[in-house]
Amino acid sequence: MKVMVVGGGGREHAIISKIKENPDVEEIYALPGNGGIAADATCVPEIGATDLDGIVKFAKENPVDFAVVAPDDPLVLGCVDRLEEIGIPCFGPEAKAAIIEGSKIFSKNLMKKYGIPTAAYEVFENADDALEYIKTAPLPTVIKADGLALGKGVIIAETREQAEEAVKSMMIGGKFGKSGARVVIEEFLTGPEVSVLSFTDGKTVVPMISSMDHKRAKDGDKGLNTGGMGTIAPNPYYTPEVADECMEKIFLPTIRAMNQEGRTFKGCLYFGLMITPDGPKVIEYNCRFGDPEAQVVLPLLKTDLLTIMQAVRNETLSEVNVEFADESACCVIMASDGYPVKYEKHYAMTLPEDRTGIFIAGATLEDGTLYTNGGRVLGVTRTADTLPEAIDKAYEAVKTIHFDNEYYRKDIGHRALEALN
């Protein structure tokens, strides 16, 4: 079998590493992939993940049996629709279902309509109304750009000045382009956050092992929001009781709601949850695997990933027994110092010979040497019987990797350990 994976970050490397375990897979193409992924797949650097015409053309010229579209942008743009049109079976939602991530206004209205627990909110189409509203809104208040904004479209304003500044930058200053032309302003919720990725074919929903992201750049959850500086799984706040409540009040109602709207979701539906004093609530939906959540969840998956993905595509997920190891995982992201603001790249990297669990996010390969080529450079995942062991092993492995300018958080998993004790 030949498989095409659209995307080129650490998440895609984790997906490709897992797909490679299937003995029927003879070739994997990564569009664009990256210098590190090149060890596991044939990369096509000239075709970017949002170049839908290029992707379709490539697939016509290099027939593939199955495609996985991993990042949000191509999904929202309709990459799966385009590939299915030319007869390539895909894992990932069609554009009309990917809107669950592509528009916060859509997802908030969906949750309101179907009674799915989430923060109270208002939608604003023009800046004057939003500015008027925040004069009296309870603080802190949360301002979200409607559309995709590389995970940076959420501002938690502690003061009215910050709220005003956020509204102005998005709605007047055009900070996120069209994505910020409309905003959602919502209630500030408190409680531990849990990421639950799920496989769904629109009929069955199978939650994967839960995880915890560490979004802030600095230790102690300080500093700016990033794409994610590390993850652990499972998340100790996601108890069996919470899981049952989520299934009944959030997961199944969301699948049914999407069907009801004529937007059946097939693929990986990511539930970003907050366990509030009033129970679990949805902070956000993503239409794809999280990055770096995939880097801890997939290494714990015991069932063949490609088999699950094909069953999702063929709407036979109920026939597959999806199993996870009864273990823990920790992924530490090694970044370029200065990320997410300003950083230098193109430093030579040294890696151990055995690259198991090292998922490269941003690197180029030149004459056999890997050079850093991004804010997030790589993630190191280790699994073990217990979370403390997985964390120790991940940090041990980090010490075997070097590049100038390297930066990583030293406290990935600490909050989870506190919760366990």
Binding site for ligand GLY (CB under 6 A): 151, 213, 228, 286, 290-291, 293
Distance (Å, rounded) from C-alpha 298 to C-alpha 305? Answer: 8
What is the smallest separation between the CB atom of 44 and ligand AMP, expressed in angstroms?
Answer: 30
Please answer whether residues 270 and 285 qualify as being in contact, where contact means their C-beta atoms are separated by less than 8 angstroms.
yes
What is the smallest separation between the CB atom of 361 and ligand AMP, expressed in angstroms?
Answer: 19
Q: Among ligand AMP, ligand GLY, none, what does residue 417 contact (CB within 5–8 Å per kind)?
A: none
Q: Among ligand GLY, ligand AMP, none, what does residue 193 contact (CB within 5–8 Å per kind)?
A: ligand AMP
Buried-exposed string 76-112: b where 16+ CB fall within 10 A, e elsewhere: bbbbbbbbbeeebebbbbbbbbbbbbbbbbbbbebbe
What is the smallest separation between the CB atom of 278 and ligand AMP, expressed in angstroms?
Answer: 13
Query: Nearest-CB residue to ligand AMP?
Result: 284
Q: Tell me, what amino acid is at 45?
A: P
Of residues 320 and 416, the one with the C-beta less far from ligand AMP: 416
Please answer whether residues 163 and 141 qualify as being in contact, where contact means their C-beta atoms are separated by less than 8 angstroms.
yes
Q: Among ligand AMP, ligand GLY, none, what does residue 293 contact (CB within 5–8 Å per kind)?
A: ligand GLY
Of residues 286 and 381, the one with the C-beta less far from ligand GLY: 286
Pairing between β-strand 141-145 and β-strand 66-69 as defined by DSSP bridges = unpaired
Of residues 73 and 291, the one with the C-beta less far from ligand GLY: 291
Q: Among ligand GLY, ligand AMP, none, what does residue 228 contact (CB within 5–8 Å per kind)?
A: ligand GLY
What is the smallest separation between the CB atom of 383 and ligand AMP, expressed in angstroms?
Answer: 24
N-term to C-term CA, the chain: 46
Of residues 145 and 387, the one with the C-beta less far from ligand AMP: 145
Q: Among ligand AMP, ligand GLY, none, what does residue 290 contact (CB within 5–8 Å per kind)?
A: ligand GLY
What is the smallest separation between the CB atom of 293 and ligand AMP, expressed in angstroms?
Answer: 12
Distance (Å, rounded) from C-alpha 188 to C-alpha 274? Answer: 11
Beta strands in 264-368 (DSSP E): 267-276, 279-286, 328-336, 358-360, 363-366
Distance (Å, rounded) from C-alpha 300 to C-alpha 331? Answer: 12
Of residues 84 and 193, the one with the C-beta less far from ligand AMP: 193
What is the smallest separation between the CB atom of 415 and ligand AMP, expressed in angstroms?
Answer: 13
What is the smallest separation between the CB atom of 293 and ligand GLY, expressed in angstroms?
Answer: 6
| DSSP assignment letter at 118 | B
Q: Among ligand AMP, ligand GLY, none, what does residue 119 contact (CB within 5–8 Å per kind)?
A: ligand AMP
Residues near 123 by beta carbon (within 8 Å), at least 6 away in sequence: 105, 108, 109, 182, 183, 184
Q: Among ligand GLY, ligand AMP, none, what does residue 75 contact (CB within 5–8 Å per kind)?
A: none
CA 336 to chain centre: 20
User: In degrees, to the nearest 5, what angle opens at C-alpha 30 toward C-alphas 198 and 311?
Assistant: 35
Of residues 93 and 228, the one with the C-beta less far from ligand GLY: 228
Of residues 230 and 272, the one with the C-beta less far from ligand AMP: 272
What is the smallest separation between the CB atom of 342 and ligand GLY, expressed in angstroms?
Answer: 21
For the residues of 161-202, what is the DSSP string, one character each? HHHHHHHIIIIIS-TTGGGGSSEEEEE---S-EEEEEEEE-S
Residues in contact with ligand AMP by the rule CB under 6 A: 119, 142, 151, 154, 156, 186-189, 193, 215, 272, 283-284
Please answer whether residues 374 and 363 qualify as being in contact, where contact means their C-beta atoms are separated by less than 8 angstroms.
yes
